[in-house]
Structure 1
Amino acid sequence: MSRISDPGPLRVGNCSGFYGDRLSAMREMLEGGELDVLTGDYLAELTMLILARDRASDPSAGYARTFLTQLRDCLRLALDRGVRIVSNAGGVNPEGLVAAVRELGLSPRIALVRGDDLTGRAAELGLGSPLGAHAYLGAFGIARALAAGADLVVTGRVTDASLAVGPAIAHFGWARTDLDALAGATVAGHVIECGTQATGGNYAFFTEVADPLHPGFPIAEIHRDGTSVITKHPGTGGAVTVGTVTAQLVYEVGDARYAGPDVTTRLDTVSLRQAGPDRVEIAGVRGEPPPPELKVSCTSIGGHRNELTVVLTGLDVEAKAALFRRQFEASLHTVPAELVWSLARLDTADAPTQQQASALLTAVARDPDPRVAGRAFSGAAVELALGSYPGFFATTPPGNAHPYGVFTAGSVPQAAPAHEVVLPDGSAEAIGPPPLTRPLAPLTGPGPAPAPGGSPVRRLPLGTLAGARSGDKGGDANVGVWVRDEAAYPWLSALLTEETVRELLPETRGLPLRITRLPGILAVNIVVEGLLGLGVAYQGRFDPQAKGLGEWLRSRLVPIPEALLEGAL
């Protein structure tokens, strides 16, 4: 009997949070301790665009080649140890990855989950004419593959959490109606999907992590009722604490209803508890029927982009910037469809180094015509080299324009994709849509708590008490903010109103905000719609994936009651 049919807890590890993650992680996880299943998440919105472009130029490409490299090293080890591997490394060409794995030999039992690719049907489904259109499939195809004895399951675009939920369905025999269990496993999958972000990586309070040099990858011990424990292999770096798990839990989410293809997970029901060293229990998660639509990732080439940054040193920075801008725009024979300027005042007065005396002026051009964003744009900059402001120089020489990508999120009915699993014996089985769905309704939790009073306050950085993690969802940015002391939560809840967020983050002015309070995990989640333009590949701002947005927010000064500061300074 295979280990995955064991009725005890299921140990699911993760060895990749993105395409390019630590190459040695698969071996580290297989050799580091006991596992039942090892997952690898290689896909993101930008990755889907990269892989779609790869396949457009080479029909045999379009999958994560680093995963294949890892399998060359570790497939024999995984088979010997009886560890199943589940990965979305198939990208936009999962069939191509399966063929490449077969060439490695060793005769693993391989299953393929397909049906996410809607590119050929995009127009009929109302998705336009994108370069790629891929539905986020659920976990039941993965579960069927494992139940049929697969050693390796290769998928295309499934939800990140499905990589862990599918093995749990197969292990415990959950049905579509086991919504609470599915929701609990979804939370566990969401926590481990980004690798070491759950074990102290990119953590707001990183100075408190005893061994931050080489964080171990996370493991979810999933139980029959959907509860789980997040941990890592003994002796590995990093840490697993309520804080590190909370940080990942609020990463790239919307409101309290976390929608997926198999279940809508109620994030406002999550309970976290430190259950031992490097062990955090997740319990109490409730699930609701999934929405009637599936999310679709649509990627396209939006045009061509070029960028120039010039350095302004010393005195009269604003006047120098204005002069260069007037000269540059006057020199353009054809003005690009988009020309965006930004001035970063990084300079300080009476600076001890030239770098500290310098500001950066950046011009970004976008245009459908590569000549307009390329040669014409660069030529205008070169011509000004000896005739502009004093101290003129650029960070890099002007170059050619490059294509830029655009991400848009679409939706299709649950039954639209031909969700199918090709089993190890070569037979194919259809995976039907969920029998019960429910339209998604916003759930932002309670309103702001009453502002605490009666204590003097000090103006200090928000991060004195609060952690944060931020990221991207298409053109939207999210910032999850939390505190670790229950006594501080009413203060945080009262502080982070729409008015205060706009004051602390001026770039959000004029953009829609959605603020969700999650008192169960002492967190407030903020979604800024449209902050990132048309997605990461569009590079609409200095930090195109909003990775540092949370740390900017933590650095802003806010009034903190002195009663909450004991032990924090």
Structure 2
Amino acid sequence: MAFTGRPIRIAGASGSASDRRHAIAEFARHHPTDPVDVIIADFMSEFNMATAAGRRVDQADAAAGASPAYDLSFLEALEPALGDLAKYGIKLAVNAGVTDTKGLYEVVMKMVEAKGLDLKVAWVSGDEVLPAIQQSLADGKSEFRNIYTGEKLAGWSFEPIYAQCYLGGLGIAAALAEGADIVLCGRVSDASPVIGAAYWYHGWQRHELDKLANAFVAGHLIECSNYVCGGNFTGFKELEHGGDGWANIGYPIAEISAEGDVVITKQAHATGGTVTVDTCTSQLLYEIQGPWYYNSDVTAVLDGIHFEQRGINRVAVHGVRSGPPPPTTKVGITARGGFQAEAWWFLTGLDTEAKARMLEVQIRRLLAPFSDRFTSLKFDLLGSSLSDAPDQNRATVPFRIVVQAKRAEDLAPTRFLKPITDNIMQGYPGATFHLDLRQGFPRAIFEYYVTLLPQSAVQHRVHLPWKPTAKTQVLDIAPPPATKTYSAQQPSQSVTTTDKPVNIKNDFGPTVRGPLGWIVHARSGDKGSDANCGFWVRHRDEYLWLRSLLSVNTARQLLGGSHPGMEIDRFELPGLQAVHFLFKNHLDRGVGVTTTVDFLGKNVAEYLRSRHVDLPVRFLNRGKL
């Protein structure tokens, strides 16, 4: 049944399992003065999907001491909020089930009953799809190619232990329509709770794709909580003063009308941060992989998107177009990838690169008797010593040694940690290793293989345990009735298209050499083994310069020599004054096993903004970022 008279207000109260815990309770407590209809919270990532898969399999194998495979931090956030959720009738939809949604349901029901509250709790299943993958593979229906590498699943050198697909939002909508107060999910897509909430509230239909696409974009904007309010934002320095400044960045609210119009705002009570065209642009560019943005319910077409500042902390979304959803949904397949260990040294003052070379030569010799069993061994000097540093700490840089192997015993202390620390007496001047040696002991790592599964093979179900009969306690959610198969290659252009050739050094006046980030914002993130990065400028006349400068070749040069043969996609978003790149396989095999310190790809943008290019002086005169 559709509500009338006003947009739905959906609060984004968590962006990961590592988010602060107070936002659900805070939104609920402030309902009388800042009402919201639904609170959504995201607790999943590709990293905790893979690690939770390991815990789930350990549970099934009755391994001693196996931890819960749902998200424990959600329970910390939920407990103080339950009373106000019930008092004010606020709905809650979360993906905190991770790989054990039924187990989370059982724990949440005990919490609700212990407080004597009348809250109906539903849970969604269907995301666990390893049997469907195995059956389809055996029947020869699909090769299940990796969408990042192109390899076939049958040729993967790891044994799958778990597979989880991304569900859409209509299961959540159905649960809310049946009276659920709390909807617990596993791997629904990050934006699906917002799609489901808006679909339920406004009584939308599946064919209303423009409305669904706008809700999808709204969900993407608020699913990372503080990011759209100034967290992880390259304009962070301007947020330092006023209100709570940096100390307490607030949480967002999406207002979605019955027609699908979207406004992004934030908590009305005193918090830091802000919602602006730039903070929205920052979050929009995060994690997208091209102009076609897929969800199980709809495809959002982003090349015409733009934002409008409607007032303080109010930004309207315009220009989103829609297409049918793809017939497939993304699947993450987890396998045990072996083990990893690390050791850290500190190098100070002069000649840090020579000291690092000396240490590497010595350590490689000491590890040689064992290294034939390593699957990876890498040495990285992280940074450079500040010249004429004002104190010793600022003249010190870390040196990281990371190793991987198939078996834990191949990384036993006698085969990795002890040889490394035993090197100290023959070491470089000032040789010092980190005394916290816990990372030097092997920890399990998980491989993550991403492929596609037909939505028709997914048994998407909603469980309504308060219903009177077994027949009414489970609802089946049908796959979308109309889909479209899209090209595996997103639209890409290696250079910009202009009416006349542009000379970067001459057409924009005098230039000086300096960091790209003095003028340009950027935002990056990870998707499987890929990293994306979007760049944008603040002023319209700067955009021709940006898109002329940032070709695929320039991006490759700015990245440096570590990935000379990398495939790079590029597309432009004129309404955002942005250029977006997708760096394919930049993160090796993904967040769970990559050996880079930037395992989430979030610092790709910060590195590229630090690279020097020719900057027009007239743009710099407006003030540096």
Alpha carbons of 1:236 and 1:309: their partners in 2 closer, same or farther (altered >3 Å)?
same
CA contact (8 A) 2:214 2:320 kept: yes
User: Which one-letter code corresponds to 1:103 in the other structure?
Assistant: K
Cα drift, residue 199 of structure 1: 0.8
CA contact (8 A) 2:132 2:457 kept: no
Q: TM-score with structure 1 length normalisation?
A: 0.94
Matched position secondary structure for 2:424: coil
Matched with 2:311 is 276
Matched position secondary structure for 1:224: coil
Matched with 1:428 is 474
CA contact (8 A) 2:129 2:165 kept: yes
Q: Deviations for 1:527-547, whole angstroms, at most 9, x for unmatched residues?
A: 111111111121321211121
Q: 1:406 aligns with which of 428, 447, 456?
A: 447
Matched with 1:490 is 544
- How far apart, in 2, do the equivalents of 1:146 and 1:555 lie? 47
- How far apart, in 1, do the equivalents of 2:580 and 2:563 lie? 15
1:448 matched to 2:496? The reply is yes
Matched with 1:230 is 264
- How far apart, in 2, do the equivalents of 1:454 and 1:34 lie? 49
Q: 2:370 aligns with which of 334, 339, 350?
A: 334
1:196 matched to 2:237? The reply is no
CA contact (8 A) 2:127 2:188 kept: yes
1:373 matched to 2:445? The reply is no
CA contact (8 A) 1:446 1:517 kept: no
1:292 matched to 2:347? The reply is no
1:150-299 equivalent positions in 2, closer than 5 A: 150-209=180-239, 210=242, 211-237=245-271, 238-299=273-334
1:472 matched to 2:473? The reply is no
Matched with 1:63 is 70
1:507-526 equivalent positions in 2, closer than 5 A: 507-526=562-581
1:346-385 equivalent positions in 2, closer than 5 A: 346-348=384-386, 351=389, 353-375=391-413, 376-385=415-424
- How far apart, in 2, do the equivalents of 1:141 and 1:434 lie? 12
Range with greater deviation from structure 2 (316-325 or 248-257): 316-325
User: Which one-letter code corresponds to 1:109 in the other structure?
Assistant: K
- How far apart, in 2, do the equivalents of 1:317 and 1:458 lie? 30
Matched position secondary structure for 1:415: helix
Q: 1:559 aligns with which of 606, 614, 618?
A: 614
1:518-537 equivalent positions in 2, closer than 5 A: 518-537=573-592
Alpha carbons of 1:448 and 1:88: their partners in 2 closer, same or farther (altered >3 Å)?
same
Range with greater deviation from structure 2 (233-242 or 247-256): 233-242
Matched with 2:64 is none
Q: Deviations for 1:286-337, whole angstroms, at most 9, x for unmatched residues?
A: 1101112110122222111111222334455444433333332222322122
Q: Deviations for 1:57-85, whole angstroms, at most 9, x for unmatched residues?
A: 44682111222233221112112111111
CA contact (8 A) 1:306 1:374 kept: no
Alpha carbons of 1:159 and 1:373: their partners in 2 closer, same or farther (altered >3 Å)?
same
1:4-83 equivalent positions in 2, closer than 5 A: 5-6=3-4, 8-32=6-30, 33-58=34-59, 61-83=68-90
Matched with 1:109 is 120
Alpha carbons of 1:463 and 1:345: their partners in 2 closer, same or farther (altered >3 Å)?
closer
Q: Deviations for 1:357-388, whole angstroms, at most 9, x for unmatched residues?
A: 44443321111121222321123213323233
Matched position secondary structure for 2:78: helix
Cα drift, residue 352 of structure 1: 5.0
Cα drift, residue 350 of structure 1: 5.2
Q: Deviations for 1:14-48, whole angstroms, at most 9, x for unmatched residues?
A: 11111131111111111231111111111111111
1:546 matched to 2:601? The reply is yes
Q: Deviations for 1:200-234, whole angstroms, at most 9, x for unmatched residues?
A: 11211112224332122100000122220000121
Range with greater deviation from structure 2 (132-141 or 391-400): 391-400
- How far apart, in 2, do the equivalents of 1:312 and 1:240 lie? 41
CA contact (8 A) 1:493 1:524 kept: yes
CA contact (8 A) 1:487 1:564 kept: no
CA contact (8 A) 1:90 1:156 kept: yes
Cα drift, residue 348 of structure 1: 4.4
% identical aligned pairs: 36
Cα drift, residue 115 of structure 1: 0.3
- How far apart, in 2, do the equivalents of 1:328 and 1:194 lie? 41
Matched position secondary structure for 2:588: coil
User: Which one-letter code corresponds to 2:184 in the other structure?
Assistant: V
User: Which one-letter code corresponds to 2:107 in the other structure?
Assistant: A
Alpha carbons of 1:220 and 1:456: their partners in 2 closer, same or farther (altered >3 Å)?
same
Q: 1:118 aligns with which of 119, 129, 133?
A: 129
Matched position secondary structure for 2:425: coil
Matched with 1:386 is 425
Cα drift, residue 404 of structure 1: 1.5
- How far apart, in 2, do the equivalents of 1:110 and 1:353 lie? 56
User: Which one-letter code corresponds to 1:54 in the other structure?
Assistant: R
- How far apart, in 1, do the equivalents of 2:305 and 2:56 lie? 40
User: Which one-letter code corresponds to 1:492 in the other structure?
Assistant: L
Matched position secondary structure for 2:585: coil
Matched position secondary structure for 1:520: helix
User: Which one-letter code corresponds to 1:224 in the other structure?
Assistant: A
CA contact (8 A) 2:328 2:453 kept: yes
Range with greater deviation from structure 2 (150-159 or 439-448): 439-448
Matched with 1:344 is 382
Cα drift, residue 551 of structure 1: 1.6
Unpaired runs of 5+ residues, structure 2, are 61-66, 138-143, 145-152, 154-158
- How far apart, in 1, do the equivalents of 2:179 and 2:417 lie? 58
CA contact (8 A) 2:86 2:118 kept: no
Matched position secondary structure for 1:538: coil
CA contact (8 A) 1:179 1:288 kept: yes
CA contact (8 A) 2:299 2:325 kept: yes
Unpaired runs of 5+ residues, structure 1, are none
- How far apart, in 2, do the equivalents of 1:150 and 1:214 lie? 32
CA contact (8 A) 1:310 1:362 kept: yes
CA contact (8 A) 1:180 1:287 kept: yes
Q: Deviations for 1:483-509, whole angstroms, at most 9, x for unmatched residues?
A: 121111111111111111122221443
CA contact (8 A) 2:344 2:400 kept: yes
User: Which one-letter code corresponds to 2:510 in the other structure?
Assistant: P
User: Which one-letter code corresponds to 1:404 in the other structure?
Assistant: I
User: Which one-letter code corresponds to 1:387 in the other structure?
Assistant: Q
CA contact (8 A) 2:352 2:384 kept: no
User: Which one-letter code corresponds to 1:448 in the other structure?
Assistant: T
User: Which one-letter code corresponds to 2:15 in the other structure?
Assistant: G
Q: TM-score with structure 2 length normalisation?
A: 0.86
- How far apart, in 1, do the equivalents of 2:513 and 2:427 lie? 43
